[in-house]
Amino acid sequence: MGTLYRTRAQLRDIGALAAASLAVGASFGAIAIAYGLPAWVPVVMSVLIFAGGAQFLAVGLLAAGNPIAAVLAGLLLNARHLPFGLAVADTIGTRWRDRLVGSHLMTDEAVAFALAESSPTARRRVYWLVGGSLFVAWNIGVVLGVLLGGATGDPDALGLDAAFPAGLIALILPSLRDRETRLVALTGAALAVLLTPVLPAGLPVMCALLGLLVLVRPTTRNRRSSPDAPPLTAGPAESARIAPVRPPSVPTPDDVSEGDRC
């Protein structure tokens, strides 16, 4: 029963991720059309590159007439896939075909779901399930966004410009149940908002990583050495260890009864 419940919860989470990926893909397709790019560009890019946020950045730079910067920015944003590939190399498979297709389907979510499993068989199954689901949902969303963006001419009129941040919020909501994760996220968001008026575009988001500093805490050793720290009480094990050992008592002649003398 526990395995069945966990499988249902897992499929529910994967379905939610796929729905968010479809919404974000529709936003990407509509925005690409709004930038004046041909309809085939976002579709082919999504099939051959499948890079999510890097595609948004690349489309903006392509529309600005800077293809070299688009390539370099995409490589920089996806540099995290290098350690991801090392972590799931055995999970993807040993055949070159599996590695080629598996590396193309690699996303943050696929890696996270796979590494959460304990057995190699479950890791492999979950990795391909998540990666394949997100790939299909993303490309369906892109096609819908291209058709919808071409029909309306202005994706902002339907609020598609908000689909991308809304999808990201939907992806991170389950992680915010953890107190430390929530504290880091709120601190990073506050720093990014405060630094936006004074820093160039792009740098405030990078400065949001400073939110990780809230996890740095003084160690227990420093607490023990502090003169203001309350005294530490010894536990039962420590009390037994430091208690003085008394030698066994030797009976005296007076303690011996008359019957014992006989």
Task: For residue 2, name the pLDDT band (cuts at 50, 70, 90).
Answer: low
Helix or strand or coil: residue 249? coil
Rounded to 10°, the helix 2-34/163-172 angle is 160
Pair 69, 138 in one domain? yes
Domain end call among 143, 175, 207: 175
Give the residue, 128 or 181, on which the prediction is more confident. Answer: 128
Residue 56, in any domain of the structure: yes
Residue 256, in any domain of the structure: no
Q: What is the pLDDT of residue 167?
A: 55
Query: What is the mean predicted confidence (pLDDT) over 15-24?
Result: 86
Asked whether the whole model's pTM tops 0.85, one would answer no
Q: Enumerate long-range contacts of 99-106, CB under 8 Å, 24 or more apart.
A: 102/127, 102/128, 102/131, 104/50, 105/50, 105/131, 105/132, 105/134, 105/135, 106/81, 106/131
pLDDT tens-digit series, residues 152-164 = 555 555 555 555 5
Residue 262, in any domain of the structure: no
Pair 89, 22 in one domain? yes
Pair 143, 29 in one domain? yes
Most confident range (mean pLDDT) of 84-98, 127-141, 158-172, 204-218 is: 127-141
Residue 257, in any domain of the structure: no
Residue 104, in any domain of the structure: yes
Task: For residue 172, name the pLDDT band (cuts at 50, 70, 90).
Answer: low
Q: What is the pLDDT of residue 237?
A: 47
Distance CA 227, CA 239 (A): 23
Pair 123, 204 in one domain? no
Q: What is the mean pLDDT of the chain?
A: 74
Range of the domain at 82: 2-175
Give the residue, 196 or 130, on which the prediction is more confident. Answer: 130
Pair 52, 137 in one domain? yes
Q: What is the pLDDT of residue 230?
A: 55
Pair 159, 186 in one domain? no
Pair 41, 124 in one domain? yes
pLDDT tens-digit series, residues 25-57 = 888 888 888 888 888 988 999 999 888 878 887
Least reliable range by pLDDT among 101-115, 118-132, 242-256? 242-256
- Is residue 69 over pLDDT 90? no
- Is residue 90 over pLDDT 90? no
Give the residue, 209 or 154, on which the prediction is more confident. Answer: 209
Domain tally, the chain: 2
Pair 50, 92 in one domain? yes
Pair 100, 36 in one domain? yes
Pair 122, 201 in one domain? no
Residue 10, in any domain of the structure: yes
Residue 225, in any domain of the structure: no
Question: Are 234 and 242 in contact, with CB atoms under 8 Å apart?
Answer: yes
Residue 106, in any domain of the structure: yes
Query: What is the mean predicted confidence (pLDDT) over 129-135?
Result: 92
Pair 53, 163 in one domain? yes
Pair 154, 215 in one domain? no
